[in-house]
Amino acid sequence: MVNSGICAGDAMGSINGLVSPPGKRPLFSFGVISDVQYADIPDGHSFLGVPRYYRHSIHVLQRAVQKWNNHQNLNFVINFGDIVDGKCPPGQSLDAVKKVNNEFQKINGPVYHLIGNHCLYNLPRDKLLPLLKIQGLNGLAYYDFSPSPEYRIVVLDGYDISAIGWPQGHSKTLQALEFLEKKNPNSDKNSPSGLLGLDRRFVMFNGAVGKEQLEWLDGTLQDATKLKQKVIVCCHLPLDVVASSQEALLWNYDEVMNVIHQYNCVKACLSGHDHKGGYSVDSHGVHHRSFEAALECPPDTDAYGHIDVYDDRLLLFGTDRIQSTEMCFNP
């Protein structure tokens, strides 16, 4: 299967079901994987009954690393979060994170990590961020970088306001708990039971982008616009309901998208968290792609890929469970 936008001026002929622009080389290419959620425990199921392969997921990552290294033209890799699972036995968390991170370190090139809820179930931010070499200020995990003059990658911290990861009495923890108390009447704040429609996102395994980060995003997009850069936004939590289940969305995805939609520079928002994967194009022409989870790959199947970036499109070449996707936009 190939999810596709419509690209003008395409020639016949395709690679892996995707049309490559004739005579053009990508500006840059990068590997993608999400929700490895490794744990040294027997296979299990999600709360919806979807099988989860905790020990196999690290083999998916190992095959991905081998494929990426063999590619030779990849500039970097982005891991979209949740490298270890919340069911990892207490006392094994640090070793599990190190084990998975060691696999990422075998990649020939830089690796950029996003933090997810399962990462934070296992390690607090002050231990996790240095391990993953995330250089955020004050324990925050948002940042940006430019892999080519034409593009900027913006990484959001979807657990900026969160009941997990921060110390118990931290202002961000208290803010998140107060928010959940208002929005979710269940005693188990991880349960969306009784919540309707988009309110089903108000659960403890999600989080929000805080005020300072929203201001930083606005300033970063202003700067990218001045420099005539196109922007790819990355967040563990999805930002569009068509590309994701309601239960997986960022609490304040609407506020984030209101900032993004003020500018024409953002071409795509990429995410993990919603394990089944999804794709949409919103009312402003921004592409949204949430990636299928490595955790849910039965033995000998995979979920990873790489993206070739051009001035007018992103081509996601998926492996097995990750659907290849063509995302076209005005150059």
Residue of 238, 312, 317, 227 whose CA lies nearest to 276: 238
Model confidence at 15, pLDDT cuts 50, 70, 90, reads very low
Model confidence at 93, pLDDT cuts 50, 70, 90, reads very high
Query: Using CB atoms within 10 A of its CB, is residue 150 exposed (0-12), middle (13-18) or buried (19+)?
Result: middle
What is the pTM for the complete model shown? Answer: 0.96
- Rounded Cα gap, residues 198 and 250, in angstroms: 11
Quick check: 11 pLDDT over 50?
A: no
- Rounded Cα gap, residues 169 and 188, in angstroms: 20
**How many CB atoms within 10 Å of residue 63?**
18
Quote the pLDDT of residue 90: 87
Tell me what percent of the residues of the chain surpass a pLDDT of 90.
Answer: 89
Contact 273, 35 (CB under 8 A): yes
Model confidence at 9, pLDDT cuts 50, 70, 90, reads very low
CA-to-CA separations, 29 to 15, 166, 287, in angstroms, rounded: 15, 34, 18
pLDDT tens string 42-76 = 999 988 889 999 999 999 999 999 999 999 899 99
**How many CB atoms within 10 Å of residue 212?**
13
